[in-house]
Chains A and B, each alone.
Chain A
Amino acid sequence: MLNTVLLVDDSATARMVIKRCLEIAGLYDTTFLEGRDGKEALELARQHKPELILSDLNMPIMDGASLLMELKADSELRAVPVVIITSSQNEALVDELVDVGAFRVISKPVTPASIADLLKELEQEQ
């Protein structure tokens, strides 16, 4: 059971779709925080200490890769699993993000099934 999940995307529609998938996958009682870019997300993460962060890759102000690096450099947040969501396909980039500490890199569109798999993996690893 995840109490707090942070969703990061500059698109309100994308955040709504991801939230809907998480709810369908079983997170009915979770509190969802929403950030529009990496900088806003970092402030929310420091304030609320979410148990999972799902972030878009391409965003203005601070992108998902920079957010990931900031989170992994923060001693209080580095253990929080970060899932990067992207519409591009680039194996080298995926390897790079995983090397930096991304829990998973998943492709759009996010579906309830892909989120359910993700939550199962998360549970198994913890």
Chain B
Amino acid sequence: MSATKATIAEAVERALGTTLETMAFEQAIPVDGPLECEEEMYWANLPILEPYYGGVSFITCKTGANMLVELVHGPPEDEGLPPEILFDTFAELINTLGGRFMSELVPDDVSFKLGLPQTGRSDAQAQGDVAYSGVFQIDEYKLVVTVTGAGFKSLVNETK
């Protein structure tokens, strides 16, 4: 019996697709190349506690972050997006993405436990063992999804 239903890459792609289609009515297309950005970066991270310890995160530049929030909430009525709405949206996006990712990855009879979403702004890179990193095109902006953790990394090695 396989330990997972899909590879990490497949699980991320499906999870991101479902999350963005349902919350932002937008598609995520896997693309090559790095995320090049000269402005501030915004990120969200969700710790995964069981059955593998690690995390799933995404990062994008400021204009991409604003675009994502507008896709979810609609255009702001007056003076732009308040930061609390941006971070609240990012927290809910990563919470949903993380849950879908684990649902796509582990068999249906395996329970999983998630931590609380974290959000922030910086050019911080994902910490720890990177098991997967993928770049996606959303509208005209790029977003990078990363999965970290020794447990996830061992899954990658198993499928090699």
Contact = CB atoms under 8 A, between A and B. Distances in A.
Interface in A64-117: 86-93, 107-111
B102 A109 contact: no
B98, B100, B111 pick with most chain A CB within 10 angstroms:
B111
Contacts of A92: 111
A88 B99 CA distance: 6
A11 B113 contact: no
B57 interface: no
Interface in B101-152: 102-103, 106, 108-114, 116
B114 A87 contact: yes
Contacts of B89: 13
A11, A92, A107 pick with most chain B CB within 10 angstroms:
A11
Query: Interface range on chain B: under 10, 10 to 19, 20 to 34, or 35 or more?
Result: 20 to 34
A17 interface: yes
B18 interface: yes
A87 B96 contact: yes
A11 B92 contact: yes
Nearest to B73: A16
A2 interface: no
A14 B92 contact: yes
B72 A90 contact: no
Contacts of B112: 88-90
Contact of B92 (A17, A88, A89, A91): A17
A61 interface: no
Contacts of B93: 13
Contact of A87 (B22, B73, B99): B99
B103 A107 contact: yes
Contacts of A87: 95-96, 98-100, 114
Interface of A: 11-14, 16-17, 58, 86-93, 107-111
12 contacts: A11-B88, A12-B88, A13-B88, A13-B91, A13-B92, A88-B99, A89-B110, A90-B111, A108-B96, A108-B99, A109-B19, A110-B22
Q: Which 8 A-B residue pairings sit nearest by Cβ, starting from the closest?
A: A87-B99, A90-B111, A13-B92, A109-B22, A11-B92, A13-B89, A108-B96, A109-B96
Given A16-B73, A92-B111, 11 more contacts: A13-B92, A17-B72, A86-B99, A88-B112, A88-B113, A93-B111, A108-B96, A109-B19, A109-B23, A109-B96, A110-B22
